[in-house]
Structure formats: structure tokens, C-alpha cells
Amino acid sequence: MLNLWYKNAVIYCVDVDAFYDQDGDGVGDFKGLTDRLDHIEALGANCIWLLPFYPSPNKDNGYDISDYFGVDSRLGTLGDFVEFAHAARDRGLKVIVDLVVNHSSIDHPWFQASRAGHPKYKDWYVWQKERPADHAKGVIFPGVQETTWTFDRKRQEYYFHRFYEHQADLNIANPEVREEIDRIMGFWLALGVSGFRIDAVPFLIEDLADSETGASPYDYLGRMRQFLDWRQAKAILLAEANIPMEEAGDYFGDGDRLNLIFNFPLNQRLFLALARRDGAPVREFLEALPEIPATSQWATFLRNHDEIDLGRLSDEERQEAFAAFGPEKSMQIYDRGIRRRLAPMLGGDERRIEMAMSLMLSLPGTPVIWYGDEIGMGDNLDLPERMAVRTPMQWSTEPNGGFSTAAAEDCVRQPVSEGPFAYAHVNAESQRVDPTSMFSVTQRLIRARRSAPEIGWGSCRVIDLGETSVIALLAEWRGGRVLTLHNLSEEPVTIDCGETVAGAPVRPLLQSGIDIDRTDGACRIRLGPYGYEWLRVAAGN
């Protein structure tokens, strides 16, 4: 159990350049993040996931990396990173960092050497003399990206890029490239990180199948995990892998490949359920969730740094979600997603926002929270593409929301200064002292989640209580039972959990003053509009 800390963790995702600017240049930095660790600790999260902070031309929010062994000078130095990692460890916070090795920036010295035909680096990228006829197939950003093959005038060949043309795909089939990836992981492990969130895993391994040897592309995930176990047994691999459930076994292996995988299909069903105010899409999905190894785990989330990807919904279902949460074209992206934050999507209704946060925390898996969602931050749709949800953290009512002392126009992205989600109305400072605020509610929810290891470690059973708007989940582990109830409707409902608890005493985990009617062997509970309850069910007599 000691090496499985992630099973009952709460992960908080941070974009360093948008969190807190200590030196006043308009860009968040590691000194600023270190200064604000108390906020994350007070919230109750126990792991921080950092978006890319490496040297980069920053054409894709740092995902176009030009040096895997450094820190973007705007954010500080390697020394600042080490000080941050040390300060986090002192607070009991683990740190995981983005491992973006499917591609690099074309500004990376490796690519520049490859295009020049350098003997060592010639085959570090994917080159081809002729552009395939289907060169537009498989683009990741439709409407923005036109092809996956771009001609390089210096080498006189085409290079492959699954993403933007300024992000050339590394040739993972080259053993020298894989050895370099080991060195990258080893470097950051030595500086104190507890693992990696691996970017674009299906694309990372897509060219590793070997028909001659029978090697599976998934074997490489096992080799990455083996390297981690050698260097630091407690380190983890969290995968960005938007995969169908039938492929989960390939990625988890026998518990010897990836530790965690983001459950993108569940996220899509969750937003469909919220749109319909009907729990059926989530209930049906969870009932069909495949069994995974005991040491493996799903990662659950509401929002992340990208769009809400609805690509696995049917066309009709996707339109339902668009109509509910992104009815305007400016709110949609890539013909498949929504580029808004949670709070504005749910109309600023704090009851509904809190219920959605509670539901996410109760789902089987490890919860991941996007910075700012704990205070109900809004978005800025004037920013391009996915940048809309990456606005500066709102700390106070001071200029720029207390993010920076620089002029607003000099900030890395414009703070939200107008409308109901402006920093004058939504900020951490005022919410920390308000027991009814979104921050305080999220704090209590995280406390409940971390006190309920049954959810992270145990089995999850969907309970049918006869109300389609209600999602009732019973988590069980080592004799402990936790029942969570969520009403997705704006109408109050009364449900009877008598058959589920079978006469056993129940105790609210959230101390909400819930009224429970236990007459006639029943266990009747009234859930208000968007109401929710967490109950610990004692062992029966």
C-alpha cells in the first residue's frame, strides 16, 4: 500500500505561468507558485501536476519543447524549481510533471540537427520523401491544422507531425530516442518529482508494433514503468489516453504498465448527464466499466487545460451537450469540444457547480482539479483556441486579481476583469474566509474524499433508487462502505436507501444536517435541487 499513494490522492493541476507572478513581469513563475503552496495545501489536494514549464517558443502553451532539461527563463531557473519541489515536499505535496515526448518543437536542437542530416540525429524524427495522399487524415485540430506532413526545405523531405507543424514527431521506434526519454525521466526524478503525466500516449506508441518480432507497442509502456520502478519505486505514470474501454487492459497491463489513465469517456458521459439532468449516461457507463488490476487506477476530472472533448458521443448527443453548455460557435472548438470553464457552463449556479464537483470526487478513481475551479473561475472566450480556460488565477480584488503587479496588457494572458466571473467577484481571498463559498465547499468535499479510501481503493456499485435524476454509488473496501447520492435535477427528490443500507446505521460524511427517516425499515432522504450527500454506512448488526 505504501507505494500506491495515488489511489487516494487528490491532484491539483497548475499552469505555472498563470498561477502567481512574484517578480512583476506579468508571467507567473516558480517563486510565485512556491509562495502560494499554502492555498493548495489548505484546499486539501496532496499532489500537484505541472503543465510544461520547459524552454519553449510557446506556440502551444509550452507543449512545443525546445529543451527537456531546463526551465523556461520566464518562469525562473532550475534552482527555483528545486526550491519549489522542496517546499512542496515539506507540505506533504507530491509533484508530477508533464512528459511531452511524442513530439518536440522544430526549434529543438535535435530537430535542427536532424533536418541538417547529422549522423546521430538523422533518424530521430519521422521523415518521408513523398507526402502521403491521405496527409490530412488524423489531424488533431480540424479547422486549424490542415495536414500531418510538412515539407522541410533544408532536408528536402516531409516530416510528420500529429499535432501542429511546429511540433515534429519524435521517432520513438529509434532506440536512441527511447534511451533519451529515460534520461529525461531520470533527470526530473533526481530533482524530486514523483512521476509524470504522459502526453498523447496513443500517438506516442502508434509506430512501435513490430510484425517481425511480434512486439506489441504497449510493451514500451511496460519498459517505461520498469525504468521508473528502478529509479524511484513510488513514482507514477498518469496517461493522457482517450481510449475506448476495451483497450484499457492493453494500457494497464497486469498492473505493470501505466498507473493511471484519464477516463475521458466517463467525462463525456458526465457532461451528457449534466446536460440532460439525468444520471442514466453515467450510471450505464459505470455499470459497464471493465475490471482493472488492483494497483491500477482511473483519473477522473471535470475540466482540464484542453477542451471538453465530446468526440466519443453520437452526433445527436454531442449537439445536446453543445446546446446546454456551448450554444455559440465561439464556445466550441475543433468540431468536437467546448472551450469553457465549468462555472460559466453551469450558469454560475453555485448549487449545481458544487454538486458537479462532489459527483466528480465520488466517482471511482483519482480526482484531478484544474486550478481556479475550486473558486468557480470563469473563462475568456476572446483568447484563441484552448487558451480561453487558461486565464490567470484570481487571488484578490486587487488589479489583475492579485496575479501580477504588471500592467494588465503585459500579463501573460488577460485576467477576467468584467462580468459575473471577474476577479472583483470571484477570488480566493474572499472565499477563504467565507464558510459558504465555493472554495470552502470544495475544501470540505476534498476532506470527505480523502477520509473515504473506499472510493479510491474499493469497488463501486451503481444503486438503482428509482429516480433517474439521481446517481447513487456504493463504494466498498475492507468492510467499509460509503454511499454517495447526487441529484442532477433542479427539482427536489425523496429517495429510499433502505434496501441498500439494510438497517445499518448511516453517518453523514459532510455533516450537512441531513434529515433521515428510518421508520418502517426505510431510509428516506430528501435531496434538494442539485442536492448531494455522502454517507458512511456502518457494518450491520
Pick the closest to residue 172 from 164, 162, 180 (CA basis): 180
Residue 313 CB burial class (10 angstroms; 0-12, 13-18, ≥19): buried
Residue 212 pLDDT greater than 70, yes or no: no
Beta-carbon contacts of residue 499 (< 8 Å; ≥ 6 apart) = none
Do 128 and 213 sit in the same domain of this protein? no
Active-site residue, 409 included = no
d(CA 405, CA 408): 8
Mean pLDDT rounded to a whole number for the chain: 95
CATH number of the domain within which 262 lies: 3.20.20.80
Do 396 and 530 sit in the same domain of this protein? no
DSSP letters for 155-171: TTEEEE-SS-TTEEEB-
Do 322 and 468 sit in the same domain of this protein? no
Who wins on pLDDT, 213 or 446? 446
Query: For residue 503, what pLDDT is reported?
Result: 86
> Which among 29, 72, 240, 467 is annotated as catalytic?
240
* Residue 89 in grid coordinates: 515536499
How do residues 389-405 score in pLDDT, each as one tens digit? 999 999 999 999 999 99
* Residue 261 in grid coordinates: 489513465
Query: For residue 515, what pLDDT is reported?
Result: 76
Residue 443 pLDDT greater than 60, yes or no: yes
> Which among 21, 64, 98, 199 is annotated as catalytic?
199
Phi/psi for 533 (5° steps) reads -145, 145
* Residue 468 in grid coordinates: 433517474
CATH number of the domain within which 462 lies: 2.60.40.1180
The count of structural domains within the chain is 3
Do 325 and 234 sit in the same domain of this protein? yes
d(CA 395, CA 38): 13
440 near 413, Cβ under 8 Å? no
Query: For residue 539, what pLDDT is reported?
Result: 76
Do 13 and 150 sit in the same domain of this protein? no
Residue 466 CB burial class (10 angstroms; 0-12, 13-18, ≥19): exposed
Do 37 and 114 sit in the same domain of this protein? no
Do 524 and 426 sit in the same domain of this protein? no
Do 360 and 405 sit in the same domain of this protein? yes
Do 129 and 92 sit in the same domain of this protein? no
Pick the closest to residue 392 from 357, 427, 368 (CA basis): 427
How do residues 261-282 score in pLDDT, each as one tens digit? 999 999 999 999 999 999 999 9
Who wins on pLDDT, 33 or 511? 33
Q: State which of 414, 449, 484 marks the end of a domain.
A: 449
Q: Where are the extended beta strands (E) located within 221-315?
A: 236-239, 260-262, 297-301, 308-309
How do residues 157-174 score in pLDDT, each as one tens digit? 999 999 999 999 999 999
Do 226 and 350 sit in the same domain of this protein? yes
Pick the closest to residue 428 from 74, 39, 16 (CA basis): 39
Q: State which of 171, 198, 229 marks the end of a domain.
A: 171
d(CA 402, CA 417): 12
Do 184 and 331 sit in the same domain of this protein? yes
Residues in the chain, total: 541
Beta-carbon contacts of residue 31 (< 8 Å; ≥ 6 apart) = 22, 23, 76, 80, 83, 84
Name the band, by pLDDT with cuts 50, 70 and 90, for residue 1.
very low
435 near 351, Cβ under 8 Å? no
114 near 105, Cβ under 8 Å? no
Do 424 and 514 sit in the same domain of this protein? no
What's the DSSP call for residue 540?
Answer: P
Query: For residue 541, what pLDDT is reported?
Result: 47
How do residues 56-113 score in pLDDT, each as one tens digit? 999 999 999 999 999 999 999 999 999 999 999 999 999 999 999 999 999 999 999 9
How do residues 186-202 score in pLDDT, each as one tens digit? 999 999 999 999 999 99
CATH number of the domain within which 157 lies: 3.90.400.10
Q: State which of 449, 483, 516 marks the end of a domain.
A: 449
Active-site residue, 199 included = yes
**Structural domain harbouring 139:** 104-171
How do residues 333-356 score in pLDDT, each as one tens digit? 998 999 999 999 999 999 999 999
| Average pLDDT for 401-411 | 97
